[in-house]
């Protein structure tokens, strides 16, 4: 069997065995898979903008945008389209090829979808790929986004089904799976991953990756986030995850989903250059670029460019291999 065989039948013991490999063996295996499917020295660059901030009715324990927590975040309504397009143009000028727009909704109204479609069409007119994350969707809303030209829809599973209720109670795991199925059935590319470092077990991390890899079609983009602890949220004070366990998670994700772009997402601001370099070697080949990730800090663009230069990495087009 090839290292890059696409599988949808991963079992828990297999995945735990990958996690348990000696670190060098695991990274060698992941890098081998990576090279079979991608140029190992190219990074796809996305930029993320919060187009509607705060006042969310959900209780996600990691999120400062929840109206239930006093995180000091100032709520902001849906941005004017001209401001969104200005931000997209700036992101493009800094090297981003995909522009992602996030709105803190449990589920958007149909009128909201119409405004988002206008944003999508404006960003596409700049020659960029588009991605949005808006919460749960109806069939009609999903179809409208597809008709409007949306390229990617982000809807993370966050963690394993078993651990999910420890983090979120206002939306079920099945709700998330249902939204992902709607997006996939509509023909929109799927962006779906999770967050590690929320107090979950090794088994939970393995089961999250199994849930993703055993979908009928792997997500084209798999964001792997490190928990960013925010004052006022329930997960503030959670024990920090071993950085090498985060790198292992990147590597195992790459082995299980060979043709997916594994995105190094939230938490990069707390990662050393050396840790990020290990993640790139382990198969991460996409990042969020810019100084903000929705509401939390991200490494400054110039620092990213300097790191890419030191590592001999260059920006890639974002077509799915």
Q: Once rounded to an integer, what is the mean pLDDT over residues 32-58?
A: 85
φ/ψ of 54, rounded to 5, equals: 75, 180
Indicate the helix (H) or strand (E) that contains 284.
strand 284-289
Catalytic residue, chosen from 98, 100, 182, 205, is: 100
Looking at residue 75, its pLDDT comes to 64
Q: Once rounded to an integer, what is the mean pLDDT over residues 32-44?
A: 95
Catalytic residue, chosen from 98, 115, 131, 192, is: 131
Catalytic residue, chosen from 63, 144, 205, 248, is: 63
Q: Once rounded to an integer, what is the mean pLDDT over residues 295-301?
A: 51
Q: At 167, list the tokens.
A: 């983090």
Which of 65-69, 82-86, 296-300 is least confident? Answer: 296-300
Looking at residue 162, its pLDDT comes to 93
Whether the predicted pLDDT of 225 surpasses 70? yes
Measure CA 217 to chain center: 17
Cβ of 87: how many Cβ atoms within 10 Å?
A: 19
Q: Once rounded to an integer, what is the mean pLDDT over residues 83-106?
A: 86
* 98-103 and 194-196 beta bridge pairing: unpaired
Q: Is 263 annotated as catalytic?
A: yes
Whether the predicted pLDDT of 267 surpasses 90? no
Query: What are the pLDDT digits (tens) for 161-211?
Result: 999 888 877 888 998 899 999 999 999 999 999 999 988 999 999 999 999
Q: Is 63 annotated as catalytic?
A: yes
Catalytic residue, chosen from 98, 115, 184, 191, is: 191
CA distances for 67 relative to 46, 60, 70, 177, 231, angstroms: 28, 10, 8, 24, 14
CA distances for 162 relative to 109, 190, 201, 256, angstroms: 30, 23, 10, 20
pTM comes to 0.87
Query: What are the pLDDT digits (tens) for 110-159?
Result: 888 999 999 999 999 999 999 998 888 999 999 999 999 999 999 999 89
Spatial distance between the Cα atoms of 18 and 248, rounded to a whole number of angstroms? 9
Task: Determine what percent of the chain is predicted with pLDDT higher than 70.
Answer: 84
Q: Is 56 annotated as catalytic?
A: yes
Q: Is 82 annotated as catalytic?
A: no
Q: Is 106 annotated as catalytic?
A: no
Question: Looking at 189-273, which runs of residues are DSSP E strands?
Answer: 189-191, 194-196, 221-226, 261-264
Looking at residue 285, its pLDDT comes to 93
Spatial distance between the Cα atoms of 30 and 282, rounded to a whole number of angstroms? 6
Contact assessment for residue 141 and residue 108, using Cβ atoms and an 8 Å cutoff: yes
Q: Once rounded to an integer, what is the mean pLDDT over residues 8-17?
A: 96
Looking at residue 152, its pLDDT comes to 94
260-277 burial code (b ≥16 CB/10 A, e <16)? bbbbbbbbbebbeeebbb
Catalytic residue, chosen from 248, 263, 268, 279, is: 263
Looking at residue 316, its pLDDT comes to 75
Q: At 122, list the tokens.
A: 């404006």
C-alpha dihedral over 65, 66, 72, 78, to 10 degrees? 40
Whether the predicted pLDDT of 73 surpasses 80? no
Mean pLDDT, the chain, rounded, equals: 86
Whether the predicted pLDDT of 216 surpasses 90? yes
Whether the predicted pLDDT of 282 surpasses 80? yes
The better pLDDT of the pair 228, 147 is held by 147
List Cβ neighbours of 265 (8 Å cut-off, separation of 6 or more): 193, 223, 224, 225, 287, 288, 293
């Amino acid at each position: 069997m090839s290292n890059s065989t696409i599988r949808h039948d991963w079992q828990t013991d297999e995945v735990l065995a990958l996690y348990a490999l000696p670190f060098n063996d695991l990274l060698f295996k992941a890098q081998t898979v990576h090279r079979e499917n991608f140029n190992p020295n190219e990074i796809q660059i996305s930029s993320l903008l919060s187009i509607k901030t705060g006042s969310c009715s959900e209780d996600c324990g990691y999120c400062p945008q929840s109206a239930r927590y006093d995180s000091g975040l100032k709520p902001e309504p849906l941005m004017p389209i001209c401001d969104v397009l200005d931000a997209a143009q700036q992101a493009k000028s800094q090297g981003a090829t995909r522009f992602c727009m996030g709105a803190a909704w449990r589920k958007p109204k149909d009128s909201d979808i119409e405004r988002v479609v206008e944003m999508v069409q404006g960003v596409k007119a700049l020659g960029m790929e588009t991605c949005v994350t808006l919460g749960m969707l109806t069939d009609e809303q999903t179809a409208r986004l597809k008709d409007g030209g949306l390229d990617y829809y982000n809807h993370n599973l966050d963690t394993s089904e078993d651990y999910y209720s420890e983090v979120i109670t206002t939306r079920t795991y099945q709700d998330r799976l249902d939204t992902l199925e709607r997006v996939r059935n509509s023909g929109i590319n799927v962006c779906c991953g999770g967050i590690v470092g929320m107090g979950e077990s090794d088994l939970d991390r393995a089961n999250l990756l199994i849930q993703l890899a055993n979908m009928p079609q792997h997500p084209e983009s798999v964001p792997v986030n490190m928990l960013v602890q925010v004052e006022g949220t329930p997960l503030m004070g959670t024990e920090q995850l071993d950085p090498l366990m985060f790198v292992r998670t990147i590597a195992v994700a790459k082995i299980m989903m060979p043709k997916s772009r594994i995105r190094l997402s939230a938490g990069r601001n707390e990662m050393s250059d050396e840790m990020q370099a290990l993640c790139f070697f382990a198969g991460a080949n996409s990042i969020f670029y810019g100084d903000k990730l929705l509401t939390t800090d991200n490494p400054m663009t110039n620092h990213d460019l300097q790191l890419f230069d030191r590592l001999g990495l260059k920006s890639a087009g974002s077509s799915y291999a």
